[in-house]
Structure 1
């Protein structure tokens, strides 16, 4: 939102133009409507009726104009279409009339032609003047319209949303889970507040800072917080806004953005998704418009004076695609990594969002561990889902159970309470889920089982086993990964051993086990055959991590064999564990069929009560 003093001239100019065009429209309407004012109503009739009136001596006056016959009968006026009647003139001359003269007044009006000069003015000069006026109006709108213009009239304008310093209410207190990023950006804020503190030693304000991280980690939020802490105007624009159909328009938007920013300096420019215009320039895949826009951005970043307090913040999920010239020092001097929050970060984010809802005492540690791998946006969604659940249950405040259930809702979807599952399928699903839990419990270096359920979810899951690590883990050993693969194969192994069948319920387990085994070989160097050799390249690490093989076709075939061997060995291990614990499997499955959902503590109690000896691998 721009300042009022910047909007007044534009608004008064728009009011004058509105008045001008309204007056012109009224004049045009008046030219068509006014000549008809005060004229009597003319009724339509047919030619036979007209002749009948003439023969009966009722017609006073006849006027033929533009192939239309106008005639009066008493005080009424009629009109009819002229037909090819050679005897009409003689009939009118001989007919009687109620006039004093006793004869019908008969005239014919010849069509009048405009002079050539008037036709030239009407058909050539007037349209040209109207077109010129519209063009002038559009040109002035483009020059004076500001960032809020729309349509073709805003071509060349940046289109950035401008927030005055008083309009940015976000501060660093609203950002949690990104302490390192906040510390880095606090220095920029301090520089804007106390420039002499740094310039006395010759230090310069960083021209730009690039915020890099997965979606939902708060890149846009922390950029607004910088502006809110610095109390300066905030320009926000998406990189896609610079992409235009016409070559050169994106560069014009960049020029206009920096021109506006320099007029309001000190201020902050935030370009979200900068990879839309900042992709590496490639001759094989060139794009004239995008490259011109990027070149203009590079030029503007070199041209402005950093001592005026103009800072550029940009965000991207794909830093590997950005042009090298954009990332060099002097343009984006700092790269700020915003990873997914750790356990303490998730707890801090929960506290921030819980301020906006009524809640009881929340076990932040338990909820924080259950939300491992979640971003700040995910946690905000979980808190909102918990509030909605509390409303549905007519609670006065949300509690820990609401949050934990919301975690499952976000991950697996809502419960399908109306789903009808046959007893036999329910039995197979129960053994499948207990099989996962049994293999996990009978292995070392495996995350504890938190919950087992066979309640179907809207995501398609007919049940699931939730494992939650006791603490935050940053590394995973080879043994832990192999145990994880064995746990994933535990569901299929339970179907084979306990139900003597195999079902489609293991499809997601197979997908995850295959992916994990492949990553062990191609990315993490955990293969005895290939060792520390990169066989796969990770791309778009912050957007799911797509991979592509960097090896020959022969090696790719060997990788498939290695993956199959790892999964086969894990499956044999899971089958052996379940075979050795059939009694515990039956007991735990019976309880799960009865209750549909059991906790990890309940499962471990059943396992201990029915085990003849301490559970060991």
Structure 2
């Protein structure tokens, strides 16, 4: 358990002034010393803290014989009857004029409301333009200015203060001096400062005293969580909230992603809570990555995982859209970022989620906009470098393109923790579907669940992308809406899943002749695949035009060996690509332009074999050749060498084209039967054409040219 401080060692009563003295002795002393050296000081602190900090500072400097002039813009007397009261700004200007031009050498002039001089975007108000000359008119003046963290200041005002003090929250070491004995009893026996600090690290001393005094409940409870929950609720403001999302129960699948988050972040934090040695706690805090990158394709749940992590930590979440931070006004984008961090630190523990981080944090030198992105990256790094180690503030950036991020962000100490969240595999999709099946009361049978898992392994019809978690959620919501409309009481079957996926697709309307061409083409690909020993298994064949940009397709299962590609596999791929074209020539005695992409891809593979992989066959040295027209300055090729390469590429293509033609002629009955089955059913799963597959006898090795 973390260290417990005996109740009797805590103060019995605390006024707000005593709390400020106890919380900020170092800040007060640094400010005092700067003023004694003749340096103007700017104190950045919450508005409610300003009058208390000023009084504590004044009491310290009175011992040094210093006097203060407090200019807050309030009139000294009521205006005469019938006369309107002057504005606060007009009164402040008058007070400043009198102060600057009067005999005030021995007095320290206090400006508690510097934000009165600025607009919300950090510019100068029209009245402030009259104030600026006054501030610089008397170089003998000694100023103390108070700045609210929520308001930016223009440089011309900040330059007036060579010494700056920033006060945000309280330090963990001073927390024991800010809790009274009566308040300590609400959390059990003895104060656990490390546990309490998690909930109040961003709260200033004055507000903390108010929050602690408002806690209700019995003394010495057996469970202190309700008291901590009251604190957590009181420190949330505006749109901030703590998500209610269980990492294991509410997110389906992705066991490796969950395990890594658990081991690297959540378990480390849980271990920290068991420590009592302050030095051990500091060592553990130094191990925590404060910046994290969650990357992967769109819709895979990157933001969802960040929210689940926040829920496990009891942390508030700020979701920030990268593009929304940008502004055309100079300095406003950086100020938007600064305000985000101020809010997060005030509500700690918290997680800032930068959605689409790459929108402003791309690698420097690649910016195409106004260049504000460079300044935003610098501001982001500055804010992250300013975290105290004990503060539980994490930054999560989500992106689809981690390779495009600025390398400065990815170095250790910044966004060092990178988590890939890929498209869901079969196991993940089943878990996701099971969660929505229960939440939406879909009543899916085992056959329907199996079919949905298999069906979502294809590309998303009409788009060409793979199914993500968002796509699966959309499928389940479509099923739920259909059941609601139809008042369905029966279980959901595979046919219902198929209808939800395809009923509203905008498919091309093919004529019977066009369908016959497409069916012939796809059957040719499939039959060649059945007789190529290195080809992956076929999962599905379609001629419905349900994949973006194609009228038909053959969907292959994932290969058994994903990371090692052999020469035989590449040659089989070329043979399969020629299958559609050769089937048209054999059965239709004509050719369509549908094989254009197949021919392009086959040529690319053949060129790679010959020029880059040293697999061109006999007569060519085993070395890498640069393609004609590519890297010509580095490796100039003679005309003879280029001719030899082109001949080798042509030979590879012709050998595989002949091989595809031979397979189709030999297996013409299978080709015709598969084409006719496709014309009848439009879509075939593996079970529908398994009877057309070659016998289980060992296949003859093809002649690899």
**TM-score bracket relative to the smaller structure:** 0.5 to 0.7
Give the deviation of 1:377 after TM superposition: 2.7
CA offset digits 1:55-98 (Å, max 9, x no partner): xxxxxxxxxxxxxxxxxxxxxxxxxxxxxxxxxxxxxxxxxxxx
User: Is 1:421 matched up with 2:511?
Assistant: yes
From 264, 284, 294, the equivalent of 2:347 is: 264
Look up the SS of the partner of 2:342 in the other structure: helix
Distance 1:319 1:593, change over 3 A: closer
Q: Given the alignment, which residue of 356, 380, 384 partners 2:473?
A: 380
Q: Does the aligned pair in 2 maintain the 1:415–1:458 contact within 8 Å?
A: no
Asked if 1:329 is matched to 2:418, the reply is no
Any idea what the Cα deviations from partners look like across 1:215-256, whole Å, max 9, x if unmatched?
222211111111122111111112223322122112111221
Q: Aligned pair in 2 of structure 1 residues 247, 139: CA closer, same or farther (>3 Å)? A: closer
Q: Is the 8 A contact 2:322 2:357 kept in 1?
A: yes
CA distance in 2, matches of 1:535, 1:486: 25
Residue 184 (structure 1) aligned with residue 260 (structure 2): yes
Report what 2:689 is aligned to.
603
**2:51 maps to what in 1?**
none
The one of 423, 432, 441 aligned to 2:521: 432
- 2:486 maps to 1:400: no
Using a 3 Å threshold, how does the CA distance of structure 1 residues 561 and 144 change in structure 2: closer, same or farther?
farther
Is the 8 Å Cα contact of residues 439 and 574 (structure 1) preserved in structure 2?
A: yes
Please say if residues 172 and 229 of structure 1, whose CA atoms lie closer than 8 Å, have aligned partners that are also in contact.
Answer: no
Confirm or deny that 1:583 pairs with 2:669.
yes
Is structure 2 residue 555 aligned with structure 1 residue 466? yes
Equivalent pair of 1:164/1:232 in contact (CA under 8 Å) = no
2:433 aligned to 350, 358, 378, which one? 350
Alignment partner of 1:574 is 2:664? no
CA distance in 1, matches of 2:247, 2:685: 40
SS of 2:595's equivalent in the other structure is helix
Deviation at 1:390, TM superposition (A): 6.6
Q: CA RMSD in A?
A: 4.6
Post-superposition CA distance 1:362-397 (Å, at most 9, x none) = 345554454445332333344445556777888544
* CA deviation map 1:35-59 (0-9, x unaligned): xxxxxxxxxxxxxxxxxxxxxxxxx
Deviation, structure 1 residue 213: 1.9
Relative to structure 1, the CA distance from residue 428 to residue 388 in structure 2 (aligned partners, 3 Å threshold; closer, same or farther) is: farther
Who wins on radius of gyration, i.e. which is larger?
1
CA distance in 2, matches of 1:139, 1:277: 25
1:203 aligns with 2:287: no
Q: Judging changes above 3 Å, is the alpha-carbon distance between structure 1 residues 566 and 335 closer, same or farther for their aligned structure 2 residues?
A: farther
Equivalent pairs counted in the alignment come to 460
Q: Matches of 1:386 and 1:527 in 2, distance apart?
A: 52
Contact 2:525 2:579 in 1 (8 A): yes
Residue in 1 that maps onto 2:306: 223
Give the match's secondary structure for 1:211.
strand
5+ residue gaps, structure 2? 1-46, 49-85, 94-114, 123-146, 152-235, 458-465
SS in 2 for 1:314: strand
- Residues of 1 paired with 2:338 and 2:517: CA distance? 65
Of residues 183-192 and 516-525 in structure 1, the stretch that sits farther from structure 2 once superposed is: 516-525
Pairing partner for 2:568 from 479, 489, 513: 479
Indicate conservation of the 8 Å contact 1:163/1:233, yes or no.
no
Whether the 8 Å contact between 2:272 and 2:284 is mirrored in structure 1 is no
Shift in CA distance, 391/570, structure 1 to aligned 2, threshold 3 Å: farther
C-alpha separation between the residues in 1 aligned to 2:570 and 2:525?
Answer: 15
Retained in 2: the 8 A contact 1:162–1:236?
Answer: no
Partners of 2:482 and 2:614 lie apart in 1 by 45
Match of 2:444 in 1: 360
Q: Residue deviations 1:269-297, cap 9 Å, x none?
A: 11122222222333997955222221111
C-alpha distance in 1 between matches for 2:471 and 2:432:
10
Asked if the contact 1:172–1:222 (Cα under 8 Å) also holds between the matched residues in 2, the reply is no
Mapped contact 2:121–2:332 kept (Cα < 8 A): no
Decide whether aligned partners of structure 1 residues 434 and 252 sit closer, same or farther in structure 2, where only a CA change above 3 A counts. Answer: same
The SS at the match of 1:340 is coil
Distance 1:197 1:568 in 2: 70
Q: In 2 relative to 1, CA 228–415 (structure 1 residues): closer, same or farther, beyond 3 Å?
A: same
Return the offset for 1:563.
Answer: 6.1
Distance, in Å, in 2 between the alignment partners of 1:390 and 1:510 is 46
More helix as a share of residues = 1
After superposition, where does 1:35-54 map in structure 2 within 5 Å?
A: none
CA distance in 2, matches of 1:523, 1:214: 30
8 Å Cα contact 1:246-1:289 kept in structure 2? no
Question: Which of 392, 396, 403 in structure 2 is aligned with 1:313?
Answer: 396
TM-score by length of 1: 0.62
